[in-house]
Amino acid sequence: MKPNIRVRFAPSPTGPLHIGGVRTALYNYLFAKKHQGTFVLRIEDTDQTRYVKNAEQYIVDALEWAKIPFDEGPGKNEKFGPYRQSERKGLYKEYADILINSGWAYYAFDTSEQLDEHRKGHEEAGKTFIYNWHNREKGRLINSLVLNKEEVKSKIDAGEKFVIRFKSPENENLQMEDEIRGQISINTNTLDDKILFKSDGMPTYHLANIVDDHLMEISHVIRGEEWLPSMPLHVLLYRAFNWECPKFAHLPLILKPVGKGKLSKRDGDKLGFPVFPLEYTNEISGEVSRGYKEDGYFADAFINMLAFLGWNPGTEQEIFSINNLVESFDLKRVGKSGAKFSAEKAQWFNQQYMQNKESDELAKAYAQILKEKGITENSAFIEKVVSCVKERATFVSDFWSLSSFFFEAPTTYDAKASKKNWKEETAALMEELILKISSIAVFSSENTEKEIKEWILTKDIGFGKVMQPLRLSLVGALKGPHLFDIIEMVGKEETVQRLKNAIKNL
Ligand code: GLU
């Protein structure tokens, strides 16, 4: 029987979700769907000091926009719920106690001032203070490994603050397996005795994360590389509890486009691209950060771009719908080394998706922009405009600069192009062209093209002498789609009017 695949995305609601977080969610989702498994959203909000109120909603909204739906999570299919750790807080102490009783954890009563003293003392001697096998039983640190049972009890009864620390094994070569990185080994002497349970009565990330992954029957932990240093502790915790360890896969970092290091919000600000899926307003400072959605990215293009930041299909194909991604995704094809973010590539994906979008869908979005400019046109017309210009567009917001002349006569004319193409004799020629145009009965693109070109031939002049000034009159510049498509769409009356305007103004 196939093992039941259950994966989770477990963000901490400490601020807006970075695109690295969305990628983690995406890879979890793809892996789950590929194996007919379950994708769980769990909110890890045990650290009350870093809690940001609107962050959870932001996470949910971002996953919804990106179309990475979770199967279980807050408010949805709460089979293993609750899915917010703050609502599970009564549960963790019991597990910390299990480890105390089995000798895998101990109480530590050292105050933060005392620990600071130790740190300072070590620093002065050019050493680093690590709370572990090395010093935990030497008598200078105050914990249940050195105090007797009664002393411990009386301290706790007297309300003295304590934490519960994991007792890392001494000098063991711990062998671990990562689905992406392969075999990893570490000597446990390098580990510190991490706090599992804090003096405020809350579990730390490590304890809550392991307990919940176990209780929620998570089969694969797929998360960012920044959690790799926690893997030994987590593997040891599973051993301490006598629980089956899930498989681990640590995803590569998403790197800055230039220079070294992890992609940060500052890179986005500096180079002008978003690092968040949705726009985000900081609750305290009011600072607004850009989002892919608001910048005009299509959710499917965004997802396709993200999928390639760390994974590749091993072929030349780059355009993958979400279903294609589900089919092709494989942890074996996720790289170990960081994936360089490229804003140009992100735009390229959007431009590619633009070409495959239905014109009616794009027209709807464009109609909204036009409405804001006070322009209402029928949807068939807008659709036609969109199909004329979309091949040159990356975003829907590009449509206006590419097609404003379909809706409004130009008010200015490109100076360089006018100088070059509007000569002494042009006005008279355009007057004649107005007469010709007025006489055309069938005002379709093909027919106007045929008739105007025939007319030019009779005049024995180069096509450019007519075509360039005509384009200038209609568009205001030497750009835009096929000239006769523009003529057909703006209509005879408007074409004539624009020629008259140009004669007057140029
Ligand atoms: N709460 C952790 C985070 O914010 C989860 C790490 C994990 O997936 O284990 O990323």
* Active-site annotation holder among 89, 262, 265, 436: 265
What is the atom index within ligand 1 of the atom nearest the CA of 205?
Answer: 1
Q: Which of 197, 261, 252 is nearest to 225 (CA)?
A: 252
CA-closest candidate to residue 210, choices 247, 245, 249: 245
Cα(188) to centroid of ligand 1, in Å? 22
Question: Ligand 1 pocket by C-beta < 6 Å: which residues?
Answer: 10-12, 44, 205, 209, 223, 227
Q: Is 34 a catalytic residue?
A: no
Residue 334 phi, psi (nearest 5) = -95, 135
277: preceding bond cis by omega (within 30 degrees): no
Measured CA distances, 446 to 417, 440, 498, 502 (Å): 26, 12, 20, 24
Say yes or no: domain 265-354 is CATH 1.10.1160.10.
yes
Among 204, 205, 218, 228, residue to substitute to test ligand 1 (most atoms within 8 Å of Cβ): 205
Q: Where are the domains of the chain?
A: 6-74+209-252, 90-197, 265-354, 358-402, 415-505
Exposure b/e, 230-246, CB count within 10 A at least 16 = b: bbbbbbbbbebbeeebb
CA 305 / ligand 1 centre spacing (Å): 23
For the structural domain made of 415-505, what CATH number should be given? Answer: 1.10.10.350
State in Å: Cα 223 to ligand 1 middle.
Answer: 7
Per-residue pLDDT of the chain (506 residues; tens, 9 = 90+): 456 999 999 999 999 999 999 999 999 999 999 999 999 999 999 888 888 889 999 999 999 999 999 999 999 999 999 999 999 999 999 999 999 999 999 999 999 999 999 999 999 999 999 999 999 999 899 999 999 999 999 999 999 999 999 999 999 999 999 999 999 999 999 999 999 999 999 999 999 999 999 999 999 999 999 999 999 999 999 999 999 999 999 999 999 999 889 999 889 988 999 999 999 999 889 999 999 999 999 999 999 999 999 999 999 999 999 999 999 999 999 999 999 999 999 999 999 999 999 999 999 999 999 999 999 999 999 999 999 999 999 999 999 999 999 999 999 999 999 999 999 999 999 999 999 999 999 999 999 999 999 999 999 899 999 999 999 999 999 999 999 999 999 999 999 999 999 999 99
Atom from ligand 1 closest to the CA of residue 223:
8
Q: CATH 1.10.150: does it fit domain 358-402?
A: no
C-alpha span between 247 and 232 (Å, rounded): 13
If you take atom 2 of ligand 1, which residue's CA is the nearest one? 11
> Rounded to the nearest whole angstrom, what is the distance from the C-alpha of residue 10 to the centroid of ligand 1?
5
DSSP assignment of 32-82 = HHHTT-EEEE-B----GGG--TTHHHHHHHHHHHTT---SBBTTB--TT--
- Rg of the chain over all Cα atoms, to the nearest angstrom: 33
Classify domain 6-74+209-252 by CATH number: 3.40.50.620
Q: Which atom of ligand 1 is nearest to the CA of 10?
A: 5
Percent helix, strand, coil in the chain (nearest 5)? 50, 10, 40
Which of 19, 223, 225, 226 has the most ligand 1 atoms within 8 A of CB, as the residue to mutate? 223
What is the whole-number distance in angstroms between the Cα of residue 17 and the centre of ligand 1?
A: 12
Give yes or no for a contact between 448 and 440, defined as CB atoms under 8 angstroms apart.
yes
CA angle 8, 10, 16 (to 5 degrees): 135
State how far the Cα of 479 lies from the Cα of 471, in Å rounded to an integer: 8
**Alpha carbon distance 470, 409 (integer Å):** 13
Domain 90-197 and domain 265-354, same fold? Reply is no
Predicted structure pTM score: 0.93
| H helix or E strand, kind and range, residue 197 | strand 195-197
Superfamily of domain 90-197: Glutamyl-tRNA Synthetase; Domain 3 (3.90.800.10)
Q: Considering only CA atoms, which residue is closest to atom 10 of ligand 1?
A: 11
Mutation probe of ligand 1 site: the residue of 209, 212, 234 with most atoms within 8 A of C-beta: 209
